[in-house]
Amino acid sequence: MLVTSDRGMPRQRLALVLDRARHLYPSSDFRRLRAALSAKTGIEIGGPSGVFQNANRWPLYAVIGHLDVLDFAPATIWTAASPGPLPPIGRRIVGEATAMAEVASASYDFVFASHVLEHLANPIKGLAEWQRVLKPGGILVLVVPHRDATFDHRRAVTTMEHLRSDELSDVGEDDATHLDEILELHDLGRDPEAGDPASFAQRARSNLQHRALHHHVFLTQTLLTLVDAMRMDVIFLDHSLPHHICLAARTGTGTPQNSGYLASAASWRRSSPFPSDRRQP
């Protein structure tokens, strides 16, 4: 039975409406992020993405100056679903997110990656490559699905030890380590686009072609810990329904100053819409 608000609107729908409306009243942290990206040149991995459009929670396309795009293939299973209107795209690059040989070091002021990191078999390798193409002081904006609200909710959260092991082993995109776990625990009820179990299994087993599997599973704390380990300073953190974590971080040369975000009393834990975030770490 769907729980409703006092006025009859389903609470889940009401929450989504309120969440969408929040872009009209951006936080001071988001206003600073937009100002830092104003008229800047960047690249989006796997883009363009709906979450950065004007009508959505983090309307960053409206302020940037130039956007290139890199994807692993000329067309993907998400290409047709790309919503509009989209920003003018400059250079379109076909290549691997973890080995961007086509892109010179220190080329961009920012890197966007929405719902990409979880699809990488080797996230640390990917993050290191995105840092390489950023100028000193450049900004990385990540959007990652939160486990609580996705088809991954039955799976264990990926640990830093696992991510470091993947990096040390130089795991490639053909990795099938998580395939059996995904086939067993993936909640198809929350993933109608995946089709029936047989269709999903067929796509999963040809993941090198489709890149649809979530190799890794994140909570907000997991993402923060990973970015901190990459020695980047977190400058923005937010959540949006139904399942988004958005984090922006700046490249630096010293020790990252992320203790406020990583603390057990951090304010984001109270405001997050996801239950596991509100528990003490």
The two tokens of residue 56 are: 């959505």
Residue that the structure tokens 């959540």 belong to:
239
Among positive and negative, which fits the CA dihedral 130, 133, 137, 140? negative
In a domain? residue 181? yes
Residues 139 and 250 sit within 8 Å (Cβ to Cβ): yes
The two tokens of residue 5 are: 């608000």
In a domain? residue 136? yes
In a domain? residue 33? yes
Number of domains, the chain: 1
Sequence-separated (6 or more) residues with CB below 8 Å from residue 63: 34, 35, 37, 38, 39
Residues 70 and 103 sit within 8 Å (Cβ to Cβ): yes
In a domain? residue 68? yes
Residues 66 and 198: their CA atoms lie apart, in Å, by 42
In a domain? residue 263? no
Residue 281: the pLDDT is 63
Q: Which domain holds residue 241?
A: 11-256
DSSP character at residue 275: G
In a domain? residue 252? yes
Sequence-separated (6 or more) residues with CB below 8 Å from residue 70: 43, 44, 45, 46, 93, 94, 95, 97, 100, 102, 103
DSSP β-bridge partners for residue 144: 245
Residue 149: the pLDDT is 94
CATH number of the domain bearing residue 20: 3.40.50.150
Residues 37 and 250: their CA atoms lie apart, in Å, by 11
Residue 98: the pLDDT is 97
pLDDT digit string (tens) for the chain, length 281 residues = 233 334 444 656 666 666 666 666 778 999 999 999 999 999 999 988 889 988 788 999 999 999 999 999 888 877 756 556 677 889 999 999 999 999 999 999 999 999 999 999 999 999 999 999 999 999 999 999 999 999 999 999 999 999 999 999 999 999 999 999 999 999 999 999 899 999 999 999 998 888 899 999 999 999 999 999 999 999 999 999 999 999 999 998 688 999 999 999 999 999 999 999 988 66
In a domain? residue 271? no
In a domain? residue 238? yes
What are the C-alpha distances in Å from 116 to residues 160, 175, 250, 275? Answer: 18, 16, 18, 23
Task: Kindly state the helix (H) or strand (E) to which residue 90 belongs, with its residue range.
Answer: strand 89-94
Model pTM score: 0.91
